[in-house]
Amino acid sequence: MYSTKSSNDTGKSISDKKINILVMENDEKDQTTLQNFVNDRNLSYNLIFVNSVSELKQKIKLQSFKIIITDFKINDGTAFDILEYVTEPVIVITRSGTEEIASKALREGAYDYLIKDNKQNYLKILPEIIKNAIKHKNEEQKSMMLSQAVTNMSDNIYIIDMNDKIIFVNDAFCNTYGYSKDEIIGKNSIILWSGEARDKDANQLLIESIEEKVEDNYHKRSDGSEFPVTLSRSIIKDKLGNEINILNVSRDITRQKRTVKTLAQFSYIDGLTGISNRRSFDRILESELKRAARNSQHLALIMIDIDLFKKYNDTYGHQAGDECLKQLTGKIDDTLKRSGETVSRYGGEEFAVLLPNTNIHSAKNVAEILRKNVKNLKIPHSKSKVDKYVTISLGVTSMIPTKTTTSAKIISEADKALYQAKQEGRNRVKVYKK
């Protein structure tokens, strides 16, 4: 058994170039199989095995890992127990499980979900998956660093005492606000605020701005002109823990608003397919529910799942899988004609189509057109039990929401219809029925 031992446990130090991989697996045979695969291929992996969720949690406190590989079921839990706990990319490799579990795992944050087969084909594609997962994580970290760098640009610092009197400003503050240090020190900081904020009680404004970051408020310069700012505040304490001052970091975002808007747009786009991502879908759905309730109009939702897509990936590889996703989303997006109709990547191989002001009959017709158009792409799928080409299953619902209708309700209805379509053989459209 390999429990907690590394793949190079020879007494020598592990090369810095080796990739630390934490493997949660309690089957000794599967541990041996994975270790032998790494050794035979001379892969630069340092495998460290653990047998339980609790052991994994202890291990990641002591050591950093690039990747976590886990079986779905383990001694004291499942893969779901670690997905919210770790920040490393997680690859689930299991001998059991369903498409529903796989889809849920991907939605919960797993990078990929592989099925163990007797011929060990899953091992053949594992190195490429690990490579892509690390690349994805590195790009995510670079984006985070960029975000932090943008956040710290053009910072204006001023410190106030607990009575809201300004006791210190830096040069950037003077340049932005137009005050000299002699003019501003000793003044109440409320003079910097504009609009509704200025009308609030100073103590209440102080409490609110300390409790959370204040964004898109307006400050005033010495000449009375207003400008948008974001403001962060933190308490300064003395050695005894007494609160003595408040550090304020404000940023003039006049020039950055266009950049911030562009970055925000990118955060709502799926990087692979170029369509709206789950975050964007949630935002659009909330907005459309409110609009439909306000106007007493139908709102339709179509949930789409690519039939047996895991088998497609296992057969043709993940690069081909990515190209398949791009073709399908392109065809779905091209099919939607009316203003306001949107397709979003809901998770993995699952997509969501929103159709404003569309009753169930029309929504079903749209879904059937989508199904046919995807099949007519004639993307080969030799391992599909449904058709020789890639196909999709669709679940449809439509409702006139009220002010109390939640997004979870309409999603649940479409999901149930989608589940029925898959249960009845896939490559079909099913309508939700109460």
Q: Is residue 416 scored above 90 in pLDDT?
A: yes
Which positions ≥6 away from 346 have C-beta within 8 Å? 107, 278, 281, 303, 352
Same domain, residue pair 320 and 413: yes
| 90-94 and 67-70 strand pairing | parallel
Instruction: Say yes or no to pLDDT of 147 above 70.
Output: no
Q: Which residue has the higher pLDDT, 43 or 147?
A: 43
- Clarify whether residues 235 and 271 are in a common domain: no
426 to each of 105, 198, 385, 386, how far by Cα in Å? 21, 60, 9, 7
Average pLDDT on 250-254 reads 84
Is 7 a member of any domain? Answer: no
Residue 80, pLDDT > 50, answer yes
Of 150, 165, 184, at which residue does a domain stop? 150
Does the pLDDT at position 150 exceed 50? no
β-bridge partners, 251 = 155, 230
* pLDDT (average), residues 220-225: 93
Contact 280, 269 (CB under 8 A): yes
| Whole-number Å distance between alpha carbons of 368 and 335 | 11
The residue segments making up the domain with residue 97 are 19-150
**Co-location of 404 and 304 in the same domain:** yes
- pLDDT tens for 368-398 read 999 999 999 999 999 999 999 999 999 999 9
Structure tokens at 263: 């970055």
* Residue 208 annotated as catalytic: no
Closest CA to 58 of 24, 26, 93, 19: 24
Looking at residue 330, its pLDDT comes to 93
pLDDT at 215: 56
Residue 226 contacts residue 218 (beta carbons within 8 Å): yes
Task: Looking at the structure, tell me whether residues 165 and 139 fall in a common domain.
Answer: no
Q: Do 403 and 337 fall within a single domain?
A: yes
pTM for this prediction: 0.44
170 vs 376 pLDDT, higher one:
376
pLDDT, tens digit (0-9, with 9 covering 90-100), for 20-57: 999 988 888 889 999 999 999 999 999 999 988 999 99
Q: Which is nearest to 329 in space by CA: 281, 377, 381, 280?
A: 377
pLDDT at 303: 98
Output the CA torsion 406→408→412→418 (10° steps).
110
Do 390 and 379 contact (CB within 8 A), yes or no? yes
**Total domain count for the chain?**
3
pLDDT at 336: 93
Question: Does residue 145 belong to any structural domain of this protein?
Answer: yes
What does the pLDDT read at residue 265?
61
Mark whether 425 and 299 lie in a shared domain: yes
pLDDT band at 170 (very low <50, low <70, confident <90, very high): confident
- Distance in Å from the first CA to the final CA of the chain: 52
Q: What CA–CA distance (Å, rounded) separates 310 from 385?
A: 13
- Please say if the pLDDT value at position 119 is more than 90: no
Structure confidence at residue 1 (pLDDT) = 43
Give the residue carrying structure tokens 């190195």: 127
* CA pseudo-torsion sign 173, 176, 180, 186: negative
Q: Are residues 248 and 267 in the same domain?
A: no
Contact 128, 318 (CB under 8 A): yes
Residue 202 or residue 409, greater confidence: 409
Residue with tokens 């789950």: 278
Nearest to 6 by CA among 27, 31, 40, 26: 31
Q: Say which of 55, 88, 288, 349 is annotated catalytic.
A: 349
Give the domain CATH number at 212: 3.30.450.20
What CATH number does the domain containing 106 carry? 3.40.50.2300
Return the percentage of the chain with pLDDT > 90, whole number: 53
Is 306 within 8 Å of 323 (Cβ atoms)? no
| pLDDT of 257 | 65
Q: What is the pLDDT of residue 14?
A: 40
Residues 427 and 304 in one domain: yes
Lowest mean pLDDT, pick from 120-134, 169-183, 259-273:
259-273
**DSSP classification of residue 258:** H
Burial of 170 (0-12, 13-18, 19+ CB in 10 A): middle
148, two tokens: 């932090």
Q: What is the pLDDT of residues 330-380, one digit of tens each?
A: 999 999 988 889 999 998 999 999 999 999 999 999 999 999 999 999 999
The answer to whether residue 104 scores a pLDDT higher than 80 is yes
Of residues 111, 84, 109, 114, the one with CA closest to residue 97:
114
pLDDT at 143 over 90: no
Identify the pLDDT of residue 261.
62
| Residue 338 and residue 198 share a domain | no
What per-residue confidence (pLDDT) applies to 420? 97
Strand-pair partners of 234: 247
Q: Does 2 fall in a domain?
A: no
Q: Which H or E run includes 113?
A: strand 112-115
Q: Is residue 38 located within the same domain as residue 75?
A: yes
pLDDT at 6: 46
The overall average pLDDT reported for the chain is 86
Q: Is residue 239 scored above 80 in pLDDT?
A: no
With left for phi above 0 and alpha for psi between -120 and 50, is residue 211 left, alpha or beta?
alpha
Given a cut of 80, whether residue 76 has pLDDT beyond it is: yes
Per the domain annotation, does 13 fall within a domain? no
Cα separation, 46 vs 20, in Å, equals 5
Full DSSP string of 262-276 = HHHHHTTB-TTT-SB
